[in-house]
Amino acid sequence: MKSINWNLIFKSLEKWREELGAEDPSVSTVAENYRRETPVNRPWAVLVSTIISLRTKDEVTLVSSERLLKKAKNPAELAALKEDQIAKLIYPAGFYHNKAASLKKIACILLEQYNGKVPSSMDELLALPGVGRKTANLVLTEAFDLEGLCVDIHVHRISNRCGWLKTNNPEETEMTLRKILPKKYWKRINYLLVLYGQKLCRPVSPFCSRCVIKNCCSRKNIDRFR
């Protein structure tokens, strides 16, 4: 593929999303709901909900995050909870025991090192327990409105499948997209491609016959499709 028509890709994906009637991702919803109630703690709400969201369905993330944030509106209140209390509040989120332990450690670190505030730099976020590049990028974009480009398995798979790039893992994909993807699309690409990967461009036997970006896809490494 000689050139990539990003405008066409995103226009087609946004139109498909609107026709599907898909709502904003749970992390954005939690952040917006919490911002209206307690503006100063939006970064905390985003960080908490993003950690809970890992390998967890959106509807579970939304309920679990709001339940925990009602009990722990800030790092101090969460640090005062026991790990089993946190785990119970975020259940049935995936790996809820591990996430409870990470959240407890994060709350203590924020209190000890950052005066109870969530840091706004990539390096500081990555130093927190349980925080990877996807989580850090989401916090930067959703909480601080800074530049960030979230890449998960869906973004990695679809970008390679379409032939936009050739990388071996999500981190390589992020670094390559930072070079070739216009910045105006950085924040939106994760939500759109995750949704697309869940509904149509699935890992096995994708629905190529219903693809809205087929003219921008090289169908790399697809054995079966519908």
What pLDDT score was predicted for residue 2?
65
Tell me if 130 sits within 8 A of 106, measured CB to CB: yes
pLDDT tens across the length of the chain (226 residues)? 568 999 999 999 999 999 998 876 656 566 556 555 554 488 999 999 999 998 888 889 889 998 999 999 999 999 999 999 999 999 999 999 999 999 999 999 999 999 999 999 999 999 999 999 999 999 999 889 899 999 999 999 999 999 999 999 999 999 999 999 999 999 999 999 999 999 999 999 999 999 999 999 999 988 888 9
Neighbours of 222 (CB within 10 A): 14
Q: In this predicted structure, what is the pLDDT of residue 133?
A: 95
Is the CB of residue 78 less than 8 Å from the CB of residue 107?
A: yes
**Any residues with CB less than 8 A from the CB of 118 and at least 6 apart, and which?**
43, 44, 46, 47, 110, 125, 139, 143
pLDDT of residue 22: 82
Give CA–CA dist 89/52, Å, rounded.
11
Residue 39 confidence (pLDDT): 47
End-to-end CA distance of the chain: 23
Cα–Cα distance for residue pair 73/170, rounded to 1 Å: 32
DSSP string, 63-106: HHHHHHHHH-SSHHHHHTS-HHHHHHHHTTSTTHHHHHHHHHHH
In this prediction, residue 33 carries a pLDDT of: 61
CA distances for 121 relative to 21, 133, 181, angstroms: 34, 11, 22
